[in-house]
Chains A and B, each alone.
Chain A
Amino acid sequence: MKPGTVFRLTLCLLLLGSLYLLSLATRNSELFGELYPWLLVVNSVALVALVLLIAYNLWRLLAQRRRGQAGSRITVRLVTMFIVLAVVPVSVVYYFSIQFLDRGIDAWFSERSEQQALDAALRLSQASFDVRKRELLERTERSARELADVPDGLLPLVLERLRERDGASEMTVMRSSGRIIATSSREPEAAILPHLPEDDVLLQVRMGRPYVGLDPIGDEGLHIRVLVPAAGAQGAPDQRILQTLYAVPPRLNDLAEQVQNAYAAYREVSYLSRPLKETFTITLSLVLLLSLLFAVWSAFYAARRLVEPVRSLAEGTAAVAAGDYGRQLPPAGNDELGFLVRSFNEMSRRVAQARDEAKGSQAQVENQRAYLETVLARLSSGVLALDGAGNIRTWNHAAGQIFGLNLRSYSGKPLLMVTEHHPHLEPFVALVNRRMEGQDSEWREELSLFGPQGRQVLTCSGATLPGGQGGGGHVIVVDDVTALIQAQRDAAWGEVARRLAHEIKNPLTPIQLAAERLRRKLEPGLEGRDAEVLERSTETIIQQVSAMKAMVNAFNEYARPPRLELAMVELNRVVQEVADLYRGSEDGPRIELDLDEALPGILVDVGRIRQLLHNLIKNAVEATPAGERCHLVLRTRHRDDPGFHGIELQVADHGPGFGEEVMDHLFEPYVTTKAKGTGLGMPIVKKIVEEHNGSITAENLSAGACVTVRLPMPEVVPLERIAKGGQ
C-alpha cells in the first residue's frame, strides 16, 4: 500500500474516531464530557487542515489546468462531479435533519398536553396550600394573642399546650432580633435547634406583617411556616415573634412532592430542549462539515487516481504522435483502464519494433545502393539510367568520362538536353530515343561519335527496367571501344609489318648481291654507252634495294615487341641534347625551347624518348615546304590536373599543319602527305608513347601544327619496369 493511501486511511479513521467520541461526549459520560472540548479542538484543527488541503489541491489543479497539462480537464470535471454528488445529497440530508431536529424537538415539548396539566396541577396545589395557609395563619394569630400576657418563664409550658392544640409540629417564640425565647417541638431532639427562618422573613414580621409560606425542610418534607408578631409580656421591652411550623400531612406531602418533581422535571426538560437542539446541531454540523470536506478532499484524490492512467495515455499518445515510439506507461491496475494502458504499451512496443525494422531495411537498401554505386563507379563501362519519360535518373562516373561532360548538371532532366551543349552526342541520343520507342526489351548497337577528342567508337547496350508507373525506364551501358579497336588495328599492322619485313627482306640481299655481281662481271666487257647504262641500272637497283632495306628495318622497328629500359631522367636535359644536335647546320631547323624549370624527374626509356623527339622533329622538318626554314618550339610542362598527373611535351611548328584527310589516321602506318618518309614516323611515336602509358594528340593551330605528348607519373610503377630501368 502506498504511503499516501495509508495516510488517507489513517486520517479517515482518526476523523471517524473523533466523531464517534464527539457523539459519545454528547451523552451522559463524565470522561467524554471532559474530552469534549479537546475533541472540539481536534475536530476544528482537522477542519482547518482539511480546508487547507482542499485549497492546496484546488490551487494545484487550477495551475495544472492553466498549464494545459494532460488530464487536467477531465480531473476538473471529475472533481466537480464528485463534489456535486457528495455535497447535494449530504446537504439535503443535513437540511432535513436540522428541520426534523428543530421541529421534532419543538413539537415534542410544546404540543404536549402534559405541560398544561402540570401547570394546572402546580397551581391547584399552590391554591390548596394557600387556603390551608390562611387557616393556619388565623390559628397562629389566635395562639399569638393567647401568648400576649404570658411571661417568658411560662412560655414553654404554654407553647407545649398551644402546639398540641393547634396540631403544629414546632412552635417557637423569639424576640424580634431572632433570639429564641422558648420552643416546643413534636420531636424532642429537634427542640434544641428549631428551624429558624431567614433574616428577610424576620424583618418582614418585625415590620408588623405576618409571614406564611410553604417551606421544604430537608428530609422532613413540606412544612407551612407561619410567623406572626406577638405582643410581649407586660413590661417587656420588645415585641415577640411566634413561629409555628405545621407539617403537611404525609399523603398530601407525597402528592405535592410528586407534583413538584414532575413539574420540575418537565420544566427542566423543556428548558433543555433548546440546548439539546444546539448540541445536536453543533455535533451534526461538525460531523457533516468534516465528512463533506473529507469527501471533497477524497474527490480530488479519487479523481487524480482515476485520471492518472488517462493522463499517462494522453501524454503517451502525444509522445507517439511526436515520433517518440516505444514509450511505455506505468501499469494501472487490472480494470479497463489498466487494459487500455497495457494495450497502449503493446502498441507502442510494436510500433517501435516496426520502426526499427523499417530502419534496418532502409539501412540495408542504403547499403545496397551504396554498394551498387561503388560497383557502378568502378566500372569502366558507362551506365546511364533513364526513367519512363526519358529523364536522366542515375549514371556513373565512367558515363560522364566517356561522354566528356558532367552528368550531374543534367540529373532529372531529359536526355535530349545534353545535345544543347554537346551536339556531338546527338547520334547517341537519337539511338536511345529510337530504342526506347521500340518494343525490344534488350538491344545492343555500335555507334561512332565525332567529338572534341576525335572519333569515338561506342558499343551501347540497353534494357528496359522493370516497374510500372513511376518506375520503369531504361538502362544503357556504354563502352568506349575506340582504344580497343585502335589496339586491334595496331596489332594487325604490327603483324603485317613483321610478315612484310620478313618476306621482303629475304630476297633483297640476293637482289643486291646479284646486281653488284652483274656490274662487276659485265663492267669490264662493256664500254661507252652500255657501260654507262649498266652502271646506272645496277646503281639504281642497289639504291632501291638499300631503300627497301631501310624501309623493312623501319617496319621491323615498328613491329618489334616493346622492351623498355626505364631510368629516372630529367626530361628537360634530354630535350636539350636532342635540340643541340640540330643546331649546327644552317639549313637545319631553328629550334626554340620553352622548358618548365620545375620539371620533376620521370621514369622513362631515354633512348626511346630521344627517338620520339627525333621522329617528331623530323616529321616537322619534312612537313616544312621547300625553301622555308623549319621553326620549331619544344615545350615541357608539369601538369597536375584532375584527370592527369605527369609531364606534357609539346612540339609545335609553323608549317602547313595536318591535312584534314589524314587527321583521323595520323598515327596509323603509311599515312603521310610528304614526298619522302616511310609513313611510320608518327605510328612509332605513338607506339613509344603508349609504351610509356601516355597519350598523344595532334591538332592544327592557327599557324602550324602541334603534337602533344602526355607522359604520366604513376605512383606505382610496375616492378619489372623499374628493375629493367636499373633503378
Chain B
Amino acid sequence: MTTRAPHSILCPRHALLVTVIVLMSVSAPAVAAGPGFTLAGADVRNDDSGVYVDARFDVRLSREAEDALESGVPLALQMQVRVLRVRDWWWDSELAGSDVRTELRYHALSRRYVVMHHDTGEQRTFFRRDAALNAWASMVGHRAIDRVRIQGNGDYVLQVRARLDVDALPYPLRTVALVSPEWRLASEWYSWPLDG
C-alpha cells in the first residue's frame, strides 16, 4: 500500500478516468501509548462512479476490552466514513455517511479468533490475535460517495474514523462502558480533501 502524508492534495487532475486523488497515510504512526485506534494506512481512490476508501487502523485494546474478548464477548467495530461539504460561514454539511461494521470474537474450541464483516458476511479465522485485529480494523474498497454528488463547485472533505461500538456490547457491559474510559475506544476523524 502506498502511503503518504494526510492533509495534502496529492494528485493533479488526470483526464476523466480513474484518478487517484489522494493517497496517504497517517504522518504520526501508531505510537500512541493509550488504548485506541490510529490510522495505519489509507487509500482514497476515485473513478467515474464514485470515491472508494481503503483504510487500516492499528488497534491497541484496553485491558478491559482484552479481558472481555478472551472471555468470549464479541467486540464490534464501526469504521465510519463521511463526506462533508466545507462551508466557511456555517458548519460543514454532511453529504454522505456510511460505516463498515466488523466483529471480532474468540472461538474457544478451536482456539482461534474469528473476524466477521457484517456487510459481506465474510468470516475469517486467525490463530494469532494481532493478525485478527488487523483484519478486524481494515476496510477495503468501501464506496464513500457517488461521484456525481461531488462534482459541483465547492470544497469537499472525506473523513474516516474507527470506534468500538459500545452499543453492540451485551447490556450489562454497556453501563460500565459508558462510564469507563477503558471502553471509550475511538480514533479521531482523519480528513482528506476531495477534488470535485
Contact = CB atoms under 8 A, between A and B. Distances in A.
Given A268-B73, A272-B73, A200 B131 contact: yes
B174 A259 contact: no
Nearest to B69: A271
Given A216-B114, A260-B108, A278 B73 contact: no
A282 B173 CA distance: 12
A216 B170 contact: no
Main secondary structure of the interface of B (DSSP, over half): mixed
B72 A214 contact: no
B188 to A, nearest CB: 20
A279 B124 CA distance: 34
Contact of A200 (B105, B111, B127): B127
Nearest to B71: A271
Interface stretch (B54-62, B136-144, B156-164, B175-183): B175-183
B67 A28 contact: no
B110 A278 contact: no
A264 interface: yes
A275 B173 contact: yes
B172 A272 contact: yes
Contacts of B114: 216
8 contacts: A26-B172, A27-B171, A36-B178, A198-B131, A214-B110, A216-B123, A264-B108, A272-B73
A218 B117 CA distance: 11
B167 A215 contact: no
B107 to A, nearest CB: 6
Contacts of B109: 122, 125-126, 129, 214, 222, 256, 259-260, 263
B123 A33 contact: no
Contact of B179 (A214, A270, A282): A282
A282 B108 contact: no
A282 to B, nearest CB: 6
B128 interface: yes
A28 B171 contact: yes
Contacts of B170: 268, 272
A122 B108 contact: yes
Nearest to B74: A268
Contacts of A271: 67-68, 71-73
Interface of B: 67-68, 71-73, 105-112, 114, 122-128, 131, 167, 170-179
Given A34-B167, A198-B127, A268-B170, A216 B112 contact: yes
Contacts of B128: 198, 200
A722 to B, nearest CB: 115
Interface in A4-29: 25-28
A216 B172 contact: no
A36 B175 contact: yes
B9 to A, nearest CB: 35
Contacts of B71: 267-268, 270-271
B175 A275 contact: yes
Given A216-B112, A218-B122, 11 more contacts: A125-B109, A126-B111, A213-B112, A213-B127, A216-B123, A216-B125, A218-B123, A260-B108, A268-B73, A268-B170, A275-B175
Contacts of B72: 263-265, 267-268, 271
Interface string A209-226: 000011111100010000
B125 A30 contact: no
B175 A26 contact: yes
B126 A216 contact: no
A199 B73 contact: no
Contacts of A278: 175-176
A413 B154 CA distance: 120
Nearest 6 A-B pairs (CB), nearest first? A271-B71, A279-B175, A276-B172, A214-B110, A275-B176, A267-B72
Nearest to A263: B108
Contact of B174 (A36, A215, A217): A36
B167 A279 contact: no
Contacts of A696: none
Interface in A181-224: 198-201, 213-218, 222
Contacts of A40: 178-179
A216 to B, nearest CB: 6
Given A216-B114, A267-B71, A271-B68, A260 B107 contact: yes
A198 B125 CA distance: 8
A412 B168 CA distance: 108
A278 B179 CA distance: 10
Contacts of B125: 198, 215-217
A34 to B, nearest CB: 7
Contacts of B176: 275, 278-279, 282
Nearest to B175: A279
A283 interface: yes
Nearest to B105: A264
A270 B71 CA distance: 8
Interface in A698-724: none
A256 B110 CA distance: 10
Contacts of B107: 216, 260, 264
A427 interface: no
B184 to A, nearest CB: 11
B115 to A, nearest CB: 11
Given A200-B127, A215-B125, A260-B108, A37 B68 contact: no
Contacts of B124: 198
A644 to B, nearest CB: 111
Contacts of A125: 109
A592 B111 CA distance: 163
Nearest to B130: A200
Contacts of A25: 175
A217 B107 CA distance: 12
A433 B73 CA distance: 125
Contacts of A272: 73, 170, 172-173
A69 B112 CA distance: 76
Most buried by B among A36, A40, A259: A36
Interface string A115-134: 00000001001100100000
Interface string A270-300: 1110011011001100000000000000000
B110 A26 contact: no
A264 B178 CA distance: 24
B139 to A, nearest CB: 19
Given A34-B167, A267-B71, A201 B173 contact: no
A151 to B, nearest CB: 32
A26 B176 CA distance: 10
Contacts of B178: 36-37, 40
A268 B75 CA distance: 12
Most buried by B among A27, A199, A201, A276: A276
Interface string A378-415: 00000000000000000000000000000000000000
A372 to B, nearest CB: 94
Contacts of B106: 264
B110 A33 contact: no
Contacts of A129: 109
A271 B65 CA distance: 11
B171 A267 contact: no
A265 B110 CA distance: 15
